[in-house]
Structures are given as structure tokens and as C-alpha cells.
């Protein structure tokens, strides 16, 4: 080996060029994080699940369009049967919420790879000893999680929106339903922000998959179940606010302009819960972004 | 010549534990060893130089920058090899090094090209497409060095680079470090508790003991400033001569070999005094070799631990 190194050393060359600003590092941090998750087989299994839902809806929209063209008499019947695929805000909201459920599972299992390993294998020192600050690292990791969320929720919803428009009234559909596009982007942004903040905080503290899944389950399964029980016991719908996922969905409904009448009074509470959880997650994350472990 | 780094009355505490006490240093360019036992404050000093932590008191400047304030600008000129694993499982070697380049501010293509070059230079070209978690200890060390070197920094901070390496791997790593230390205009700080590594690579050293700097400067003069130690050999019975030497304040450490002893003399002692003592005791001296201190002796002397007793290396 020494001989090999002797030969190689002669090939060493310096490098001198203008360095890019630290903000440019956010993108490689994000793409590296996403790449690490994409390399896991479990991710592809869960992505397959989201694809099934997407392909089902994609095919249904196509089928409806074909029936409308080939047999207009059946249009009304088909619309009745496939009410949920109507191209309205509710269609896309429900689709994104359903996709989000699988996305949550994906994140629970991907948190260790995305963030936890940086703590367990000293990756944080690797990142923070370079020409970046803590905020660049944090933003890069949040962007990685947000990209995964967008990949399974916002992106397919946008594809379906375009498909629906192209197969129905084209320009007229897009003109009359521009709000849906904003709704998709708004709900997507909301899910990406909330989930990335919560996942980062949990993964930074819990690090390993098993505790992470348990913590995730407490937030997204146990708390909503407790909320549902208390709602029945006290006959007060406000207890539903304990369900973080339901709160996000409620805000998503607002993005689509489709808040159910009975949930409208819960809106301010949902906004408060989502804001508090996100702020708490951010505050919990900041002290964890340190480059070293103290050895005494 | 600008200072490589400068510390003015730097103290750093972790809660109640003080890792560095009132350290003041100015270090010029070159290869500098940072020597001390575990817990001496070496890693804390390196973290301060990198701006990963801020001093509890005092001021730090690295390459004329204040690391805490200007971390994102000056670290483009610094490469750091951490003592801990600091790997990203799941990444391939080439990706790991290229990412380090991009995080150091290199454009994507340059980072990619330099990553290949650096891995080639360090002899990892065959394994660059393997996942980093499958690397051996020696390969991991070289990979970490490649990540520190990819952007061709002016200053390399190496924290225990030979830790965990087998003798061959250690020798190879030291060869590389010696070559890196010889790069014109580039500097290197080698933090280690292995004094022979510092002796091999560095011209100067900082000795730390329990958070304090006990000595700093060129290694050569530190050795020559040693207390005189000699290897004395004779023929016959020398009990009288050795007793006479002891009476004159000379430390005598018996050797495992017959007819030989290691002696440590005081400042006013001259070599001819040995012959005078031998003459008085009717003993024939057959050898008198001045024992040169190695860095370990220097270190032990500086931190106040007794020098190694006879039966030592020069026998």
C-alpha cells in the first residue's frame, strides 16, 4: 500500500477557484438526504402503495372522460357512482390526505436515515465542520423531508389536476379552477412544512427507527384516538383538535376553500395547534444541531 | 508571515468542567503537533479553531478570522478530519468526498472531479463506489482525510488521524501526512497522543496537560534542553563508583544488563567527572553515550511525570 501511495502522491494537484456562497450547500444536503431514503427497499414498497392510489385515480379520470365522449348518456350515472372523482377541491384534498397517510409511514421509517444517523455516526460533525452554518444544515434536512412529502402528495396531485383539465374542458377547467392549483400547492406546502419540522425534531432526539415509529404513532394514532374518546365522552368536537393530522387536513380544506360546515368553528383551534406544534418542533431541533459531543 | 491561529487568554468550560485554562498562543504556518493525553483539551482546541464552539473567555483567530463570527467564510480554507467516525452510512465513498467538497463551497463539477482525484491520491480509487460503512478502519481514516483535503485547504486540522490503524496502515497514513505537511504554503495541525506521529510529521509542537499549555515551540530545541542522561558501561565491580556518583547528586538507574547503568546528571556535571569518579573507584569505563531525549521524554518531563527508568532504549 505504501508503494501505491508513493505513486499516487505524485499525482496530487491543488485546486483554486472561487467558492460558492454557503446557501448553495442547502441543495446538496437535501438531495443527499433524499437519495439516502430512496436507496432503501422499504421506501419503494411504500412509494408503490402511494402509486396504487395515484394510478387508480388517474385511470378513473381517464375512464370518466372516455365514457363522456363515447357514451354521453352514461355521464350522469358515472358522475353519481364516482362522486369522489369530480375534479373539485375536495377530490384533490382527499387524494392528498390519503397519500399523506402513506407518506407519514414512509417518514417514520426514513427518519433514522435522514436525520438519526447524523447523530449516531457523527455525520453532524461532518456537515457542520464544513463551510456551512447550523441554519444551512437544518434547512437542507427540512428540504429533504419536504421533497419526499411533495414527491408523494403534491406532485401526483398536480399531475391529476393537469390530467383532469386536459381530459375535460381543458382551458376552461384551468381558468375556472385556478384556486384548486393554489389549494394543491398550499396544502402540499403545509404538509411538507409541518411534517418536516416534526420529523426532524423527533429524529434528532430519538434517532433510531423503533423509538421514532413509536413517537410518530403517539402523535398520529394515539392522540387522535384519545381525542375521539374524549369527544364522545364530553360530546365536544373540540377534542378532535388533539389529532394533529386532522388539524393539518382542516387547514388543507381551507386552502381548497372546502372547509366542512361542522368543522368551521374548529379552524382557529386547528391553526393554533399546527402553529404551536411546528414552533415547538423547531425549538426542540435547534439545540440538537451541534457539531460535537463533549467527552470528559 | 501571518499567524495560522492565535489564542488570547482562552478559557473554555463545559458546565463545571474546564477544558482549557487561560491559553495564549500564536502559531505560524507549518506542521504543528498538538500533543496531550486524553482529556488534555486537544479536541476542544481544535473545535475552537474551527468555530464549532465559542470560548467561555478570551479570543480566537484562525487564519486571521474570528471563527465564531465568520465560520462560513474562513472554513473554505480549512479541512477538518474528525477523531470520531463522522461517516454518512448509505453513501458511496465518492459521494461522501464530493459532498464534502460541495459543503466547502466547491461547484458541483469541480467537487466531483476533485473527489476522484483525491481518492486516487489516497489509494482509494478501487473502492470509491463502495458504501462507506463497508470500508475497513484504515480506509475510513483515508476517506475522512480525502473529505478534509478535497477543497485543497490552506490549513488541515487532523484529530487523531492514525487512531485504530494497524502498523502498516499507520505507516502509510504517516507517509501521506508527511507529504501533505511538505506542501508549500499549506499548514497542518496534528492532534494526537502518539508522540512518535508528531515526531515524524511536525517541526513544532504544542504540549497540553489538563487544559494548560505546558510548552510550545520547535521540537529540536526542546530535546536539546533536556536534563543530561547518559548510558554508562564499565568492566568489573562498579559498586564503589556508583555509590560515589550517587553521593555527588547523580541519579543512577540500574540496567537489566550487567556492567551498565543509566545515569541522569545535574546541570553542572561535565562528562569528564565520570572518568574522575571511575578513576577514584579503580573502574574501567568502556562506554559513555549521551542519551538523547525523545518526544515522550520531553512530554513526561514537561507534565511532571518521572522520566522512564533504566533499561531503556539506548542500551
Here the CATH number for the domain that contains residue B283 is 3.30.70.600
> Which range has the worst mean pLDDT, A30-39, A125-134, A208-217, B60-69?
B60-69
The rounded distance, in Å, linking the Cα atoms of B289 and A233 is: 94
Q: Which domain holds residue B45?
A: 5-88+151-223
Same domain, B162 and B254: no
Please give the pLDDT value at position B1: 58
In a domain, B34, yes or no: yes
Does A190 map to a domain? Answer: yes
Residues of B in contact with A35 (CB under 8 A): 95
Low-confidence winner among B11-20, B35-44, B223-232 (lowest mean pLDDT): B223-232
Report how many domains make up chain A.
1
CB contact under 8 A, A28 and B50: no
B281 lies in a domain?
Answer: yes
Same domain, B207 and B285: no
Nearest-by-Cβ selection for A131 from B82, B105, B176: B105
B300 assigned to some structural domain: no
Q: Tell me the residue length of chain A.
A: 296
Q: Is the dihedral of CA B28, B33, B38, B40 positive or negative?
A: negative
Asked, for residue B94, whether it belongs to a domain, the answer is no
Q: Is residue A4 part of a domain?
A: no
CA–CA dist B206, B5 (Å, integer):
13
Lowest mean pLDDT of A225-229, B118-122, B290-294, name the range: B290-294
Q: How confident is the model at residue A168 (pLDDT cuts 50, 70, 90)?
A: confident
Domain with A133 in it: 25-288
Given a cut of 80, whether residue A235 has pLDDT beyond it is yes
Which residues in chain A touch residue B72, judged by CB atoms under 8 angstroms apart? 22, 131-133, 136
Does B38 have pLDDT greater than 70?
Answer: yes
Q: Is residue B24 part of a domain?
A: yes
Does residue B100 lie within any of the structural domains? no
Considering the domain architecture, whether residues B77 and B158 belong to the same structural domain is answered as yes
B172 contact residues in A (CB cutoff 8 A): 1-2, 5
DSSP secondary structure letter of residue B311: S
B72/A113 touch (CB, cutoff 8 Å), yes or no: no
Task: Point out which residues pair with B229 in neighbouring strands.
Answer: B264
ipTM: 0.87
Query: Which of A9, A20, A132 is the closest to B107 by Cβ?
Result: A20
Choose the final residue of a domain: B165, B198, B223. Answer: B223
Using CB atoms, pick whichever of B52, B85, B175 lies closest to residue A2: B175
Which range (A127-136, A191-200, A276-285, B67-76) has the least confidence?
A: B67-76
Q: Is there a contact between A24 and B50 if contact means CB atoms under 8 Å apart?
A: no
Domain count, chain B: 2
**Could you tell me which chain A residue has the CA closest to the CA of B68?**
A133
CB-based contact A100:A192 (threshold 8 Å): no
Domain end position, chosen among B223, B249, B266: B223
For the entire predicted model, the pTM comes to 0.83
**Same domain? B77 vs B163:** yes
In-domain check, residue A201: yes
Q: Residue A16 domain-assigned?
A: no
Pair B195, B259 in one domain = no
Is residue B96, in this structure, part of any structural domain at all?
Answer: no
Percent of chain B with pLDDT over 70: 90
Nearest CA in chain B to A125: B86
Q: Is A209 inside any structural domain? A: yes
- Cβ <8 Å between B105 and A22: yes
Cα nearest neighbour of A17 on chain B: B106
Determine the Cα–Cα distance for residues A222 and A109; give it in Å rounded to an integer. 18
The C-alpha of A285 sits at a distance from chain B's nearest C-alpha, in angstroms, of 17
Q: How confident is the model at residue A84 (pLDDT cuts 50, 70, 90)?
A: confident
Does the structure show a pLDDT above 70 at B224? no
Nearest CB to B72; choose among A4, A6, A133: A133
Average the pLDDT over B210-235 and give the result.
79
CB within 8 Å: A24 and B90: no
Q: What are φ and ψ of residue A283, in 5° steps?
A: -65, -35
Note whether A15 contacts B87, CB cutoff 8 Å: no
What pLDDT digit, counting tens, does each position of A201-218 carry?
999 999 999 999 999 999
Of A65-74, B45-54, B186-195, least confident by mean pLDDT is A65-74
Q: Tell me: pLDDT of A2 over 70.
A: no
CA distance B140 to B252: 47
- Which pLDDT tens digit goes with each residue over B60-71? 998 888 877 677
The rounded distance, in Å, linking the Cα atoms of B56 and B312 is 43
Do B84 and B157 reside in the same domain of the chain? yes
Least confident range from B66-75, B209-218, B239-248, B291-300: namely: B291-300
pLDDT at A4 over 90: no
Residues B88, A36: C-beta atoms closer than 8 Å: yes
Predicted pLDDT at B236: 80
pLDDT at residue A295, rounded to an integer? 40
| Residue at A13 is within a domain | no
**Among A2, A19, A24, beta carbon nearest to B171:** A2
Chain A and chain B share a number of CB contacts under 8 A equal to 137
B201 part of a folded domain: yes
pLDDT (average), residues B283-310: 68
Question: Would you mind telling me the total number of residues written for chain B in this entry?
Answer: 315
Nearest beta carbon to residue B87 from set A121, A294, A295: A121
Same domain, B56 and B204: yes
- A220 or A5: which leads in pLDDT: A220
Assigned C-alpha cell, B194: 502518539
Does residue A18 lie in a domain region? no
Whether residues B286 and B267 fall in one domain:
yes
Q: Which CATH number do you get for residue B69?
A: 3.40.50.300
Instruction: Answer whether A173's CB lies under 8 Å from A212's CB.
Output: no
Contact B104 A17 (CB under 8 A): no
Is position A15 within any domain? no
Amino acid at each position: 500500500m505504501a508503494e501505491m501511495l508513493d505513486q499516487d502522491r505524485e499525482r496530487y494537484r491543488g485546486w483554486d477557484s472561487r467558492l460558492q456562497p454557503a446557501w448553495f450547500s442547502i441543495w446538496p444536503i437535501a438531495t443527499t438526504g433524499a437519495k439516502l431514503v430512496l436507496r432503501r427497499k422499504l421506501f419503494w414498497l411504500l412509494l408503490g402503495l402511494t402509486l396504487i392510489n395515484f394510478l387508480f385515480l388517474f385511470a378513473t379520470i381517464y375512464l370518466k372522460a372516455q365514457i363522456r365522449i363515447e357514451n354521453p348518456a352514461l355521464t350522469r350515472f358515472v358522475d353519481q357512482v364516482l362522486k369522489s372523482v369530480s375534479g373539485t377541491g375536495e377530490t384533490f384534498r382527499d387524494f392528498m390526505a390519503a397519500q399523506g397517510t402513506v407518506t407519514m409511514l414512509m417518514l417514520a421509517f426514513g427518519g433514522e436515515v435522514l436525520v438519526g444517523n447524523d447523530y449516531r455516526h457523527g455525520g453532524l460533525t461532518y456537515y457542520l465542520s464544513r463551510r456551512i452554518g447550523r441554519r444551512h444544515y437544518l434547512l437542507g434536512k427540512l428540504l429533504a423531508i419536504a421533497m419526499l412529502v411533495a414527491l408523494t402528495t403534491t406532485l401526483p396531485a398536480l399531475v391529476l389536476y393537469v390530467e383532469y383539465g386536459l381530459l375535460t374542458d381543458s382551458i376552461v377547467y384551468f381558468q375556472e379552477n385556478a384556486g384548486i392549483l393554489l389549494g394543491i400547492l398550499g396544502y402540499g406546502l403545509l404538509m411538507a412544512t409541518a411534517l418536516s419540522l416534526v420529523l426532524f425534531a423527533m429524529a434528532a432526539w430519538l434517532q433510531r427507527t423503533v423509538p421514532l415509529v413509536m413517537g410518530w404513532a403517539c402523535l398520529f394514532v394515539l392522540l387522535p384516538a384519545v381525542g375521539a374518546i374524549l369527544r364522545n365522552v364530553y360530546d365536544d368536537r373540540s377534542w378532535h383538535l388533539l389529532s394533529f393530522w386532522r388539524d393539518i387536513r382542516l387547514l388543507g380544506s381551507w386552502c381548497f376553500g372546502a372547509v366542512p360546515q361542522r368543522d368551521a368553528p374548529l379552524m382557529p383551534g386547528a391553526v393554533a395547534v399546527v402553529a404551536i406544534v411546528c414552533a415547538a418542533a423547531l425549538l426542540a431541533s435547534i439545540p440538537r444541531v451541534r457539531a460535537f459531543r463533549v467527552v470528559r | 508571515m501571518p499567524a495560522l491561529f492565535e489564542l488570547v487568554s482562552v478559557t473554555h468550560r463545559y458546565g463545571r468542567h474546564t477544558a482549557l485554562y487561560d491559553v495564549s498562543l500564536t502559531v505560524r504556518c507549518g506542521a504543528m503537533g498538538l500533543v496531550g493525553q486524553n482529556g488534555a483539551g486537544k479536541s476542544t482546541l481544535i473545535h475552537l479553531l474551527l468555530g464549532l464552539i465559542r470560548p467561555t473567555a478570551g479570543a480566537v483567530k484562525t487564519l486571521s478570522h474570528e471563527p465564531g463570527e465568520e465560520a462560513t467564510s474562513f472554513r473554505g480554507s480549512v479541512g477538518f478530519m474528525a477523531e470520531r467516525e463522522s461517516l454518512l452510512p448509505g453513501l458511496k465513498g465518492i459521494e461522501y468526498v464530493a459532498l464534502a467538497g460541495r459543503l466547502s463551497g466547491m461547484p458541483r463539477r469541480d467537487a466531483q472531479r476533485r473527489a476522484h482525484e483525491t481518492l486516487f491520491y489516497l489509494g482509494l480509487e478501487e473502492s470509491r463506489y463502495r458504501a462507506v460503512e463497508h470500508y475497513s478502519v484504515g480506509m475510513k481514516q483515508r476517506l475522512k482525510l480525502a473529505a478534509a483535503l478535497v477543497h485543497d485547504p490552506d490549513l488541515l486540522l487532523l484529530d487523531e488521524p492514525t487512531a485504530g490503524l494497524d502498523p502498516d496502515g499507520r505507516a502509510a497514513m504517516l507517509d501521506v501526512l508527511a507529504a501533505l505537511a511538505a506542501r508549500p504554503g499549506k499548514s497542518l495541525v496534528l492532534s494526537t497522543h502518539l508522540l512518535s506521529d508528531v515526531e515524524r510529521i511536525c517541526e513544532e509542537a504544542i504540549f497540553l496537560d489538563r487544559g494548560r499549555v505546558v510548552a510550545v515551540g520547535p521540537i529540536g530545541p526542546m530535546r536539546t534542553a533536556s536534563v543530561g542522561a547518559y548510558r554508562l558501561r564499565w568492566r568489573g565491580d562498579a559498586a564503589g563508583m556508583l555509590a560515589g556518583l550517587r553521593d555527588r547528586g547523580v541519579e543512577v538507574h540500574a540496567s537489566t544488563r550487567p556492567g551498565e547503568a543509566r545515569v541522569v546528571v545535574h546541570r553542572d556535571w561535565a562528562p569528564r567527572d565520570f572518568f574522575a569518579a571511575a578513576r577514584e573507584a579503580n573502574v574501567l569505563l568502556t562506554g559513555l553515550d549521551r542519551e538523547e531525549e525523545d518526544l515522550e521524554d520531553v512530554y513526561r518531563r514537561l507534565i511532571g511525570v518521572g522520566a522512564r527508568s533504566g533499561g531503556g532504549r539506548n542500551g
